[in-house]
């Protein structure tokens, strides 16, 4: 008997009142144990941070014991199509009520509600990599942390000059960043919308940050096209420090010009020995921009987007496939019966099929493949794709992988 069976099913419902939403956010912080202290949400403004109708609460004996919420937006698939996306966050269960199925009920309810409203995919960022596979989420993009030793970082002569860089004024900063981000939509798979709720949360969190945070923008006034947010580490030892480090927490450089301009600017900062780019795509050109490739070091690579496909047919039809040949994959989804089917895939399109499949995989594994960042051979090697026809594996590899590494670049 599993632990779940000892307890009644929690009642799941949408939280609506200001007080309930505050209680849910407090519960989330208690569940997360060690988040840095933050300010109190301003009175009467919870609707700025949480989208109406998308915050769920789980109740046992009338008491709120768990929560999850989501915001609506889009996610970019290989080829540039934007599909409706639920950005899932704030998953927490009171530590006194864990391991009795509360999150299972919440997540199942949320997935159904998202599918009902027409979302094609949902994604989240995971605090632990062991929780969400069981709900059909698969790792679909990775985030790379690059460390640059500024003393070795001489730019290659072919690197473009880039445009002007200036500091954003406090009074304009958030509106300006929001505008730059929304006006420069790239087709990188995995990119998601930064919703008004996301920006409101950023403003709110940073309003309480003590210590210096700098925001520099690239481009001519009125036509800015990139930005960087950075802060120094160890300010207590900064004055006479030997390894002065800045951490770039948000690097939005959608064009080669803005990328080069912002990198040039960061490398020109006096006093700085080390620049940590905390979250760039695996194919960021930065190391290739240096005459000494070892001037940039991959400090870590970690899972970023966990993707849950809610509607397999729409997701497959929306993304592009390149390469020759065709492959039939049998997908199994224990939650949504209509996703369990054999799909025939080629660069010409996707259809369901009654012929036997070459490859067989679960919904989480298809989520991992969907943005083109992992090869079928890797998942087959791990036993997570069952191969019925070995000749189909390289065909599927070519069809599913994508030349641009998937990356969202937005933590939520
Ligand atoms: C992670 C968390 C939400 C899980 O909630 P929960 O109500 O205890 O989960 P459930 O009881 O529904 O567990 C479902 C299954 O997941 C497993 N599981 C739950 N949390 C897990 C964890 N942290 N690591 C590994 N497995 C976990 C359970 O063992 C259970 O497995 P089973 O079905 O084989 O028995 C909860 O523990 C929590 O709030 N943790 C702290 C906050 C956090 O990490 N939030 C996630 C932010 S991304």
Whether residues 268 and 337 fall in one domain: no
Whether the pLDDT of residue 116 is over 80: the answer is: yes
Q: Using 50, 70 and 90 to split pLDDT, how confident is the model at 39?
A: confident
Whether the pLDDT of residue 6 is over 70: the answer is: no
Whether residues 176 and 293 fall in one domain: yes
Share of the chain above pLDDT 70, in %: 98
Calculate the CA 30 to chain-centre distance. 23
Say what the pLDDT of residue 8 is.
83
Region 206-213: what's the mean pLDDT? 86
Cα 3 to averaged position of ligand 1 atoms, centre (Å):
12
Whether residues 107 and 155 fall in one domain: no
Helices 173-183 & 196-206 angle (0-180, nearest 10):
150
- The number of the ligand 1 atom at minimal distance from the alpha carbon of 2 is 35
Cα 126 to averaged position of ligand 1 atoms, centre (Å):
11
Tens-place pLDDT, residues 48-85: 999 999 999 999 999 999 999 999 999 999 999 999 99
Cα 103 to averaged position of ligand 1 atoms, centre (Å):
7
- 26 is in which domain, residue-wise? 11-124
Is 104 a pocket residue for ligand 1 (Cβ < 6 Å)? yes
Calculate the CA 307 to chain-centre distance. 9
- Those residues with Cβ within 8 angstroms of residue 263's Cβ, 6 or more apart along the chain or in another chain: 155, 159, 162, 253, 286, 289
Whether residues 182 and 70 fall in one domain: no
Tens-place pLDDT, residues 138-151: 999 999 999 999 99
Q: Candidates 7, 87, 99: which one to mutate for ligand 1, based on the most atoms within 8 Å of Cβ?
A: 99
Q: Report yes or no: 27 and 66 within 8 Å, Cβ to Cβ.
A: yes
Say what the pLDDT of residue 322 is.
94
Whether residues 149 and 263 fall in one domain: yes
Cα 95 to averaged position of ligand 1 atoms, centre (Å):
10
Return the CATH number at 370: 3.30.1050.10
Distance CA 109, CA 407 (A): 27
Whether residues 149 and 284 fall in one domain: yes
Whether the pLDDT of residue 3 is over 80: the answer is: no
- Those residues with Cβ within 8 angstroms of residue 142's Cβ, 6 or more apart along the chain or in another chain: 282, 301, 302, 303, 304, 373, 405, 407
Please tell me the residue having the least CA distance from ligand 1 atom 31. 99
For 87-145, the DSSP string reads EEEEEEE-GGG-SSSHHHHHHHHHHHHHHHTT-SEEEE--SSTTSSGGGT-EE--EEEE
> What are residue 400's phi and psi, to 5 degrees?
-80, -35
Whether residues 352 and 264 fall in one domain: no
Structure tokens at 110: 């949320």
Q: Using 50, 70 and 90 to split pLDDT, how confident is the model at 339?
A: very high
Is 114 a pocket residue for ligand 1 (Cβ < 6 Å)? no
- Phi-psi map region of 46: left, alpha, beta (phi>0 left; psi -120 to 50 alpha): alpha
Other C-beta atoms lying within 10 Å of the C-beta of residue 339: 21
Whether the pLDDT of residue 1 is over 80: the answer is: no
Assigned domain for 137 exists: no
Whether residues 297 and 353 fall in one domain: no
Distance CA 331, CA 296 (A): 40
Whether residues 289 and 366 fall in one domain: no
Is 65 a pocket residue for ligand 1 (Cβ < 6 Å)? no
Q: Using 50, 70 and 90 to split pLDDT, how confident is the model at 393?
A: very high
Region 179-183: what's the mean pLDDT? 97
Q: Using 50, 70 and 90 to split pLDDT, how confident is the model at 38?
A: confident
Whether residues 218 and 254 fall in one domain: yes
Tens-place pLDDT, residues 279-305: 999 999 999 999 999 999 999 999 999
Q: Using 50, 70 and 90 to split pLDDT, how confident is the model at 167?
A: very high
Whether residues 260 and 323 fall in one domain: no
Q: For 220-314, list the strands marked E by DSSP.
A: 226-232, 245-252, 274-280, 296-303, 306-309
Region 90-108: what's the mean pLDDT? 97
For 321-361, the DSSP string reads --SSSEEEEEEE-SS-GGG-EEEEEETTEEEE-SSPPSEEE
Return the CATH number at 243: 3.40.630.30
Cα 93 to averaged position of ligand 1 atoms, centre (Å):
8
Distance CA 295, CA 151 (A): 8
Cα 104 to averaged position of ligand 1 atoms, centre (Å):
8
Say what the pLDDT of residue 7 is.
61
Distance CA 409, CA 254 (A): 11
Is 99 a pocket residue for ligand 1 (Cβ < 6 Å)? yes
C-alpha dihedral sign at 8, 14, 19, 24: positive
* pLDDT mean across residues, the chain: 96
Q: Of the candidates 262, 278, 303, which is a domain's last residue? A: 303
Domain count, the chain: 3
Calculate the CA 242 to chain-centre distance. 34
Please tell me the residue having the least CA distance from ligand 1 atom 20. 131
Is 163 a pocket residue for ligand 1 (Cβ < 6 Å)? no
């Amino acid at each position: 008997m599993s632990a779940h069976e000892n307890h009644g099913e929690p009642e799941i419902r949408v939280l609506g009142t200001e007080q309930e939403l505050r209680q849910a956010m407090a519960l989330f912080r208690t569940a997360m144990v060690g988040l840095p202290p933050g300010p109190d949400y301003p009175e009467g403004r919870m609707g700025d941070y949480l989208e109406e109708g998308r915050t769920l609460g789980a109740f046992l004996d009338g008491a709120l014991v768990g929560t999850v919420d989501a915001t609506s937006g889009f996610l970019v698939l290989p080829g540039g199509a934007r599909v409706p996306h639920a950005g899932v966050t704030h998953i927490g269960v009171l530590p006194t009520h864990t391991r009795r199925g509360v999150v299972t009920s919440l997540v199942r309810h949320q997935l159904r509600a998202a599918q009902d409203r027409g979302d094609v995919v949902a994604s989240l960022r995971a605090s632990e990599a062991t929780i969400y596979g069981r709900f059909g989420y698969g790792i679909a993009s990775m985030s790379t942390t690059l460390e640059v030793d500024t003393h070795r970082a001489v730019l290659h002569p072919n690197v473009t000059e880039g445009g002007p860089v200036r500091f954003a004024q406090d009074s304009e900063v958030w509106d300006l960043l929001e505008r730059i981000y929304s006006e420069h939509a790239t087709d990188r798979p995995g990119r998601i919308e930064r919703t008004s709720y996301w920006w409101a949360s950023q403003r709110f969190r940073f309003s309480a940050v003590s210590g210096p945070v700098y925001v520099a923008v690239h481009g001519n006034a009125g036509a800015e096209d990139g930005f960087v947010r950075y802060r120094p580490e160890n300010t207590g030892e900064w004055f006479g420090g030997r390894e002065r480090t800045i951490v770039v927490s948000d690097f939005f450089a959608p064009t080669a010009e803005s990328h080069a301009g912002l990198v040039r600017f960061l490398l020109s900062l006096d006093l700085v020995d080390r620049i940590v780019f905390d979250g760039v795509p695996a194919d960021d050109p930065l190391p290739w921009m240096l005459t000494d490739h070892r001037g940039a070091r991959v400090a870590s690579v970690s899972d970023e987007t966990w993707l849950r496909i809610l509607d397999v047919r729409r997701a497959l039809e929306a993304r592009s496939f390149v390469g020759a040949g065709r492959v039939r994959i049998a997908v199994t989804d224990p939650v949504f019966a209509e996703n369990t089917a054999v799909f025939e895939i080629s660069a010409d399109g996707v259809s369901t099929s009654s012929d036997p499949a070459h490859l067989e995989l679960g919904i989480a594994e298809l989520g991992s493949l969907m943005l083109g960042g992992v090869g079928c051979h890797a998942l087959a090697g791990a036993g997570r794709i069952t191969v019925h026809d070995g000749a189909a594996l390289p065909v599927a590899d070519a069809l599913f992988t994508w030349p641009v590494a998937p990356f969202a670049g937005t933590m939520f």
